[in-house]
A and B are shown apart, each in its own frame.
Chain A
Amino acid sequence: MPRAIKGVLVECDASIRALIVRIDSERHDVVIQELDETHLLIDSTKVEFVKNELNRLLAKNTYNPLEEEELAAAN
């Protein structure tokens, strides 16, 4: 008999997939199965966590022009 696993299907591009796998490598409780290049099956309770982590990781690599100004103003 086949088996049905409950979870959340995630579709994303390869770079994001790599990030999710990296998030999982620290905790091992996020990704249930890696399906293919652009799909992952993850724990349904971890979706929000993954989204937040992704935002945090992606935000690291952006330039915020206001920050500089505010820093300048603070000095």
Chain B
Amino acid sequence: MIFNEKPISIYDFDSWVKSNGKIEQMEAIRSIKSLHLLKESNEICILNPVFRKNLRNVLTGSEIGVSFGIPCDTDDLNKVDIEFLDNYASKKWETILHFMVGTELNEIPSAGVLSLLRHSGLMDGKTPKAMVITNEGFQFLLQDVNAQLWALLLQYLRMAESLQMDPVDVLNFIFMLGSLELGKDYSLSVLSETQLNMLEDLRDYGLIYQRKTTSKRFYPTRLATTLTSDSTTLRSASSAMNNVIKNANDNIGSNIENAGSIIIETNFKLYAYTNSPLQIAVLNLFVHLKSRFENLVTGQITRESVRKALLNGITADQIVSYLETHAHPQLRKLAEEQYEKKLEYDANTKEKLHILQPNITDQIKLWQLELDRILTWDGYLFTDFANDSEYQILQTYAEEIGVLLWFDHSKKKFFVTKEGNSQVIAYANRKLRKK
């Protein structure tokens, strides 16, 4: 289809694909259709001409495009390695996160970052000193880095328009960054005016590295190259939290141990030896905090407090693993003693070490299950079939294209998704009208 200018009949697709790959085929067609790359009319398909031309260029390398960036021809005298880039990126990014939770920092993020945080509603306040984190900001902190980056970049895109920057250029550059290779240096020569302006901002977020502002080359960091993929970023959501907390404690210079400050009793009472505002803030997400002392907060885990967290998109597993990784050494010791006793009694026990009391973990998980007691799908119920064969034909078809959600042979009824409905109806019209 890339090299063939003529439109193609929809039935030709079927002959290209083995019959057992039907579901995959439907999926593929559906996804390229939803991107408007493929137009279908009267059972004839046409590929978007711009997409076709560019894809052909990339495959054959005939015309030099900018979509994948231009690597530098000459060697950089001050070459940097991947490890350096990683450090650089996480340092920049963490500065932003730390600023958000109000950790005392030596350097605060640049004015560009601050106004971005303010405009995206993650923080409130006019002067850098007076800025405080909002509710959305907390949820933002719990997301993984990729989601955080995209949230900020989307906001950047919205702001770009008011700053008289061409949003298409901005978006182009973001996507280009996603397809660059980590650890390579790229030339600035092909970038437009707007994109050159962007460089400065992206440097502040830690997406790219430039040795000097006047440098003619830039390095994408891991944050940038994983933008368009879901492969592991610098760190996952929960480890991000741990990292932040670990560093927060280091920075405050308190003598509290990094991990290990939370004690939780079997009656769901919780004591946390901490004075880190971030850790207290995180606990506040799923614990009903009661009192706060110099180096201790107490609270209670309740159904309501856990539900609140769950509704905010935090999972039970996250809560449990948070409590486990931050469990007090005493709690850990107790759990290990019990575990050893169990091992003595039965050396082959398959049980794992439970740092938290099982009733706590179970209950938190139960509360999560309680929230999704029902599963719902929008769609259409097909009923009133005249005979078995009509039902069979349509039901098999719906199953083949992967839109069937429920069926009952004896009652001759089945349910398809909203998206699949039009396809099934079109098929029904083709098949059943013929007779």
Q: Specify which of B377, B381, B382 lies most central, judged by the most chain A CB atoms within 10 Å of its CB.
A: B381
Q: Specify which of B303, B374, B380, B425 lies most central, judged by the most chain A CB atoms within 10 Å of its CB.
A: B374
Selected contact of B386 from candidates A1, A6, A11, A65, CB within 8 Å: A1
A9-B405, A16-B373 given; name 10 further pairs at CB < 8 Å: A1-B386, A1-B432, A2-B382, A5-B382, A9-B379, A11-B374, A33-B383, A35-B381, A36-B408, A39-B406
Report the interface size for chain B: residues with CB under 8 A from the other chain: 35
Q: Specify which of A3, A4, A12, A35 lies most central, judged by the most chain B CB atoms within 10 Å of its CB.
A: A4
Q: How far is the CA of A10 from the CA of B384 in the complex (A)?
A: 20
Is A21's CB within 8 Å of the partner chain B? Answer: no
Contact present for B374 and A10 (CB under 8 Å):
yes
Contact present for B375 and A10 (CB under 8 Å):
yes
Is B421's CB within 8 Å of the partner chain A? Answer: yes
Of all chain B residues, the one with the shortest Cβ separation from A17 is B374
Contact present for B381 and A4 (CB under 8 Å):
yes
Is B370's CB within 8 Å of the partner chain A? Answer: yes
Interface size for chain A: under 10, 10 to 19, 20 to 34, or 35 or more residues? 20 to 34
A16 to chain B: which residues have CB within 8 Å?
373-374
Of all chain B residues, the one with the shortest Cβ separation from A66 is B302
Is A22's CB within 8 Å of the partner chain B? Answer: no
Selected contact of B303 from candidates A3, A4, A62, CB within 8 Å: A62
Q: How far is the CA of A16 from the CA of B300 in the complex (A)?
A: 29
Contact present for A5 and B381 (CB under 8 Å):
yes
B428 to chain A: which residues have CB within 8 Å?
2
Contact present for B381 and A33 (CB under 8 Å):
yes
A47 to chain B minimum Cβ distance, whole angstroms, is 6
A39 to chain B: which residues have CB within 8 Å?
406, 415
A33 to chain B: which residues have CB within 8 Å?
381, 383
Contact present for B382 and A3 (CB under 8 Å):
yes
Q: How far is the CA of A36 from the CA of B413 in the complex (A)?
A: 11
Is A58's CB within 8 Å of the partner chain B? Answer: yes
Of all chain B residues, the one with the shortest Cβ separation from A58 is B370
Q: How far is the CA of A1 from the CA of B384 in the complex (A)?
A: 7
As a 0/1 sequence over residues 293 to 322 of chain B, the CB contacts with chain A under 8 angstroms (1 = contact) are 000000010111000000000000000000
B268 to chain A: which residues have CB within 8 Å?
65
Chain B residues close to A by CB (< 8 Å):
267-268, 288, 300, 302-304, 370, 373-386, 390-391, 394, 405-406, 408, 411, 413, 415, 421, 425, 428, 432
Contact present for A66 and B382 (CB under 8 Å):
no
A9-B415, A65-B300 in contact; A2/B288 too (CB < 8 A)? no
Contact present for B376 and A10 (CB under 8 Å):
yes
A12 to chain B: which residues have CB within 8 Å?
373-375
A2-B386, A41-B415, A66-B288 in contact; A7/B375 too (CB < 8 A)? no
Report the tally of A-B residue pairs with Cβ distances under 8 A: 88
B385 to chain A: which residues have CB within 8 Å?
2
Of all chain B residues, the one with the shortest Cβ separation from A15 is B373
Q: List 29 A-B contacts (CB under 8 A).
A: A1-B386, A2-B384, A2-B386, A4-B421, A5-B381, A6-B380, A8-B379, A9-B379, A9-B381, A11-B374, A11-B375, A12-B373, A13-B373, A16-B373, A32-B381, A35-B381, A35-B408, A35-B413, A35-B415, A39-B415, A41-B415, A50-B374, A58-B370, A62-B303, A64-B302, A64-B303, A65-B300, A66-B300, A66-B302
As a 0/1 sequence over residues 41 to 71 of chain A, the CB contacts with chain B under 8 angstroms (1 = contact) are 1001001001100100010001011100000
Of all chain A residues, the one with the shortest Cβ separation from B417 is A9
Contact present for A54 and B304 (CB under 8 Å):
no
Contact present for A9 and B421 (CB under 8 Å):
no
A23 to chain B minimum Cβ distance, whole angstroms, is 12
Contact present for B384 and A7 (CB under 8 Å):
no
B346 to chain A minimum Cβ distance, whole angstroms, is 34
A1-B432, A33-B381 in contact; A51/B374 too (CB < 8 A)? yes
Contact present for A8 and B382 (CB under 8 Å):
no
B377 to chain A: which residues have CB within 8 Å?
8-9
Contact present for A65 and B302 (CB under 8 Å):
yes
Selected contact of A54 from candidates B302, B374, B415, CB within 8 Å: B374
Contact present for A54 and B406 (CB under 8 Å):
no
Q: How far is the CA of A11 from the CA of B405 in the complex (A)?
A: 10
Contact present for A4 and B380 (CB under 8 Å):
yes
Q: How far is the CA of A69 from the CA of B303 in the complex (A)?
A: 15
A35 to chain B: which residues have CB within 8 Å?
381, 406, 408, 411, 413, 415
A62 to chain B: which residues have CB within 8 Å?
303
Contact present for B378 and A5 (CB under 8 Å):
no
Cβ-closest 10 pairs across A and B: A12-B374, A4-B380, A11-B375, A3-B384, A5-B381, A9-B377, A2-B385, A9-B415, A16-B373, A8-B376
Contact present for A3 and B383 (CB under 8 Å):
yes
